[in-house]
Structure 1
Amino acid sequence: MVVIYHKNNLVVEVKNNQDSIAFKNVTITEALFTLAEKYPDELILWCELSLKDNLNYEALPVIFHHKKILASFNLISSNFLPDAIGYVEQSPYIKINKKVRYPTWIMSSKTGGVHASVLSALKNQITLDNDFDYFLCSMAKLGMDQGLLCYSEPLLIKDFLEKENKLKDNWDVLFKFVKQHYRTRWVFLLFLNLLVYERKTLFFPLLKSFVYRKRNLRSNSLENIKVESINKVVEKNTIDVIIPTIGRKKYLYDVLKDLSRQVHLPENVIIVEQNPDKNSVSELDYIKNENWPFKIKHIFTNQTGVCNARNTALSLIESEWVFLNDDDNRFDENLLKDVLANLKSYGIKSLSTSYLQPKEIKENKIISQAQIFGSGNSFIHASLLDTVKFDMRFEFGYGEDSDFGMQIRNSGVDVIYFPNLEILHLKAPIGGFRVKPILAWDNDEIQPKPSPTIMLNMQLHLSQQQIKCYKTILFFKFYKVQKIKNPIIYLKNFEKQWKQSIYWSDKLKLKKA
């Protein structure tokens, strides 16, 4: 372990265990790569000199439990980049929960660390910016796409107390960062959003940004770094499967057959069958008529709704792991075995697989942090069920998957995507006895736009700037498909629909989750 103590973007002291290493008049970024070359098997840490006594050495093995982790922590409430970065990114990485380990590429020079092997792999690919905060955010933003797992980690600091200290917004830096790490169109959208929502006319930062070129890393830059976590997350090797179903008898049968062929069999398969007809009975005769190599817990209910069905199934979990499955999935016999192997390797408690529909082409082929969460292709540790559940306020709407994933992240657990683990989503036709629910806003003269459940999800989990960015994008996308072509009339109508969505979202907030 090597620690760089710094002040004002310059190295003050470097220590390898208890030995001091001489560095004079060099930037922190230069020191990082020099030390990575000299100590290729070490964890390289940085720490602002004023926090020297607060660095939590005891927690380092827990934080950096494998080599592909970049973590830092910022004690103050504001970040290096202005909050306006939310005007260009809709991911869960912008609104950081500083109380837990939280996935984000927004790094801090206050304190942090990365393994030397990561720095060595990125050498000659990444610019050594003099501004250490800029360099860290850039490395994390680019590295995330190549499988670098990046976190805000409060365990780095002991005796932590968040400080209220609003940094002055540096618009030149923000526009530069957007130009170097996003498509060029986002620079213009950033300018537009700042003009519309904050009445800022930032022509000079916009123009200056075009001096800079987009940054990229070579594909698979980090593929040679082997991941072997010291975390012990798989002990019992047991898995329960939950499947909500409605009107898909044949498709569900195929799912059960795929499960029965698994090299590593599940312990329990929990099926929640729904049928709104009060006089109906189960159509799943094969549950009792055939022999299955696992226990099937079958619940039949007249109450429809996927949130209720999944929560009902989750309440019956007995195993160490939960497979959130769907009634129209297909997968090979090695799925559960391979999932457990990858969970062990990465030492994680939440995993999502590839989830393509027939004829879809896989684009992301790198194991990486997932921006989305799928409730039909994910595995979670059963301990998470003490803190997460499907929010009933999203029942019959949209956004329950995304909200569930955000609950997981806000509990301190990341969601990792594994493209090598594949589940085929057949997207089967809707079952014959499904009834379209009547929502509270269905008869409103002014229909809410977006759906109130989408608005609720944004209000719960996104920053204000991200919500406004969504509004701008929706404004332009919706204009193409709606009938009003007069832009002034369209704008007025759009504002009414947006306010109506907020109105119903606020109503939903008052309901029990």
Structure 2
Amino acid sequence: MIIVYHINDKITAVVTSDNQKIEFDYQGTIAGGLQELAQQFPDRKILWCHSAVKEQLNLAAIKTLFHHDKMMLSFNPNTNDYFGNKIGYVEASLFINVNKKVSYPTWQMSSVVGIVHASVLNAIKDKTGSDANFDYYLNSLAKLCMPLGLLCYSEPLLLKQGESIASPKASVYLLFRFVKQHYKTQWVFLLLLNLVLFERKFPVLSFIYCFFYKNRSTRNISLDDIKAESSLKVIDKRTLDVIIPTIGRKEQLYDVLLDLKTQTYLPKNVIIIEQNPAVNSVSELDFLTSESWPFPIKHTFTHQAGACNARNIGLNQITSEWVFLADDDIRIGEDFIEKALEHVAILGVKAVSISCLQKGEKLTFNTVFQWGSFGSGCSFVATEALNNCNFNMGYEFGFGEDSDFGMQLRNQGHDVLYLPEPEILHLKVPIGGFRTKPILEWHKEEVQPKPSPTVMLYQILHNTQEQLFGYKTTLFIKYYKYQKVKNPFSYFKMFQKQWNQSVFWANELKKTS
């Protein structure tokens, strides 16, 4: 491992992990220095550290934290990251509101401390530029490479506990430049609009100057030759339970069980939660007992409909090391479980969501990367990662419970990766015959909430205020062409009433969570 100490945008020392000094030209930029070192030591990890936190550097933890080469770790001990909260006006993803208490997925890197493998720096050499501003360079690198499969994290364990230092903050000029270089051009205009609307600021010069910069493309960047082979052991007992909530899909559930029956790696238990809200109804799943299955089936019948409640019942019955959260209308190959667990072991992660496509759909993402959501019907999760996690009942019969569950995992330090294979075929069968569309409390309101209160609940629970405002602006613009009120002033009044209704009901749902 090579350690680069720096201060005031200049490298001050380059040493090995056993503190042997490496001769180096300190005259260039820090980013340029890292790239030179990567060429000189192509098989080494390269760590950077501000001289002010040298004594807090936790070298003993690096081996465990940096467990494969396709990673980038960094940590800013301050509350706000380099671009501050304003970046939330243009990005709604979960990578913005970083939980500094745990290992958390984000492209927001810091010059305070961090580590990356030389092979990553060599893969992007001459393709992204070598910015004089080190923080800008690090954020640009991570932003470009994260969708390509580089796993980027804010990692508090890089530093031992101690006093934090003042870290650099991007100017509004650099914020606009970053948005222009890493997002679609329309986001530059939306950033300006949001600053005017919500902060009463009009940075016209920064807005104009950003158009002198070209967008940074990932077209010529490939990280495919860098292998993610983790040194961590996340599978020990190799036991797996499967949870399947079902309602009105007897035939489809039977096919799922047949697929599980022929697996090369059999589950330890299959947990089925059958729902039928009809009074005096009984189970229709006679094949659970009339046929022989190579695994125990834990069957729960309930009159309470709702996917959140059903999945929570299932979570309480897990006894294995891992769990596969499945839907009742999917089809899988006979080696599906075996392959999925192989991928999990190689990557060293405790939660993955797997490609789940309908017949005829083409695979959009071909690489493993940090997923921006969670699939409650297509995911493998380590049981130990599920502590204090449940499907929030505030989302029942609405949208967002998947994403919320994923956020609960991440806020406990467990990232969710997307796996393009093994694939799941999602039949997307029409709803069962005895399902009824629930009448929710806000359906009776004269002014209907916009967006749905469950969507607003997710925004309130997991996003920053700037992300919420940015979402409001884009929703206002997109919704305009779909509604009947074309007078912009009348539309604004109506939209504001609908938004306020959504906030009210989201806060009511929050009380039930």
Q: Which moved more, 1:211-220 or 1:39-48?
A: 211-220
Q: State the distance in 2 between where 1:37 and 1:316 align.
A: 52
Q: CA deviation at 1:168?
A: 5.8
Amino acid in the other structure paired with 1:130: A
Q: CA deviation at 1:214?
A: 0.7
Task: Give 2:268's aligned residue.
Answer: 267
Q: Deviations over 1:388-417 (max 9, x none)?
A: 111111111211001000001100010000
Task: Give 2:446's aligned residue.
Answer: 445
Task: Tell me, yes or no, if the aligned pair for 2:239 and 2:322 is still in contact at 8 Å.
Answer: yes
Q: Deviations over 1:412-460 (max 9, x none)?
A: 0100001122111111101010122221211011111111111111111
2:7 maps to 1:26 = no
2:428 maps to 1:465 = no
Task: Tell me, yes or no, if the aligned pair for 1:82 and 1:170 is still in contact at 8 Å.
Answer: no
Unaligned 5+ segments in structure 1 are none
Q: State the distance in 2 between where 1:116 and 1:160 align.
A: 29
Q: State the distance in 2 between where 1:418 and 1:122 align.
A: 24
Task: Give 1:494's aligned residue.
Answer: 495
Amino acid in the other structure paired with 1:58: A
Q: What does 1:383-462 correspond to in 2, within 5 Å?
A: 383-462=384-463
Q: What does 1:87-486 correspond to in 2, within 5 Å?
A: 87-160=89-162, 170-218=171-219, 221-486=222-487
Task: Give 2:10's aligned residue.
Answer: 10
Q: Which moved more, 1:166-175 or 1:282-291?
A: 166-175
How many residues align structurally?
Answer: 511
Give the match's secondary structure for 2:148.
Answer: coil
Give the match's secondary structure for 2:355.
Answer: strand
Q: CA deviation at 1:166?
A: 9.0
Task: Tell me, yes or no, if the aligned pair for 1:77 and 1:166 is still in contact at 8 Å.
Answer: no
Q: State the distance in 1 between where 2:32 and 2:170 align.
A: 26
Q: State the distance in 1 between where 2:219 and 2:367 align.
A: 13
Q: Deviations over 1:81-108 (max 9, x none)?
A: 1311111111100000000000000000
Q: CA deviation at 1:167?
A: 6.5
The correspondence for 1:54, drawn from 25, 42, 56, is: 56
Unaligned 5+ segments in structure 2 are none
Give the match's secondary structure for 1:18.
Answer: coil
Task: Tell me, yes or no, if the aligned pair for 2:112 and 2:167 is still in contact at 8 Å.
Answer: no
Amino acid in the other structure paired with 1:270: I
Task: Tell me, yes or no, if the aligned pair for 2:83 and 2:169 is still in contact at 8 Å.
Answer: no
Q: Which moved more, 1:14-23 or 1:487-496?
A: 14-23
Q: Structure 1 vs Structure 2: percent identity of aligned residues? A: 52
Q: CA deviation at 1:220?
A: 6.3
Q: State the distance in 2 between where 1:196 and 1:120 align.
A: 42
Give the match's secondary structure for 2:144.
Answer: helix
Q: CA deviation at 1:161?
A: 5.2
Q: CA deviation at 1:219?
A: 5.8
Runs of at least 4 residues of structure 1 off by over 6 A? none
Amino acid in the other structure paired with 1:133: D
Q: State the distance in 2 between where 1:311 and 1:162 align.
A: 40
Q: CA deviation at 1:287?
A: 0.9
Q: State the distance in 1 between where 2:386 and 2:415 align.
A: 15
Q: Deviations over 1:158-177 (max 9, x none)?
A: 014567x6976611100100
Amino acid in the other structure paired with 2:157: L
Q: State the distance in 2 between where 1:138 and 1:402 align.
A: 26
Q: State the distance in 2 between where 1:377 and 1:242 align.
A: 10
Q: State the distance in 1 between where 2:38 and 2:419 align.
A: 28
TM-score using structure 1 length = 0.98
Q: State the distance in 1 between where 2:321 and 2:229 align.
A: 21
Task: Tell me, yes or no, if the aligned pair for 1:409 and 1:415 is still in contact at 8 Å.
Answer: yes
Q: CA deviation at 1:298?
A: 0.7
Q: Which moved more, 1:484-493 or 1:212-221?
A: 212-221
Amino acid in the other structure paired with 1:7: I
Q: CA deviation at 1:387?
A: 2.1
Give the match's secondary structure for 1:20.
Answer: coil
Q: Which moved more, 1:417-426 or 1:211-220?
A: 211-220
Q: CA deviation at 1:385?
A: 2.1
Q: State the distance in 2 between where 1:219 and 1:310 align.
A: 43
Amino acid in the other structure paired with 2:217: N
Give the match's secondary structure for 2:472.
Answer: helix
Task: Tell me, yes or no, if the aligned pair for 2:386 and 2:409 is still in contact at 8 Å.
Answer: no
Q: State the distance in 2 between where 1:297 and 1:162 align.
A: 51
Task: Tell me, yes or no, if the aligned pair for 1:357 and 1:424 is still in contact at 8 Å.
Answer: yes
Amino acid in the other structure paired with 1:291: S
Amino acid in the other structure paired with 1:210: F
TM-score using structure 2 length = 0.98
**CA root-mean-square deviation:** 1.3
Q: CA deviation at 1:200?
A: 1.1
Amino acid in the other structure paired with 1:11: I
Amino acid in the other structure paired with 1:112: G
Q: Deviations over 1:442-484 (max 9, x none)?
A: 1011111111111111111011111111111111121111111
Task: Tell me, yes or no, if the aligned pair for 2:233 and 2:348 is still in contact at 8 Å.
Answer: yes
Amino acid in the other structure paired with 1:349: K
Task: Tell me, yes or no, if the aligned pair for 2:331 and 2:425 is still in contact at 8 Å.
Answer: yes
Give the match's secondary structure for 2:35.
Answer: helix
Amino acid in the other structure paired with 1:300: F
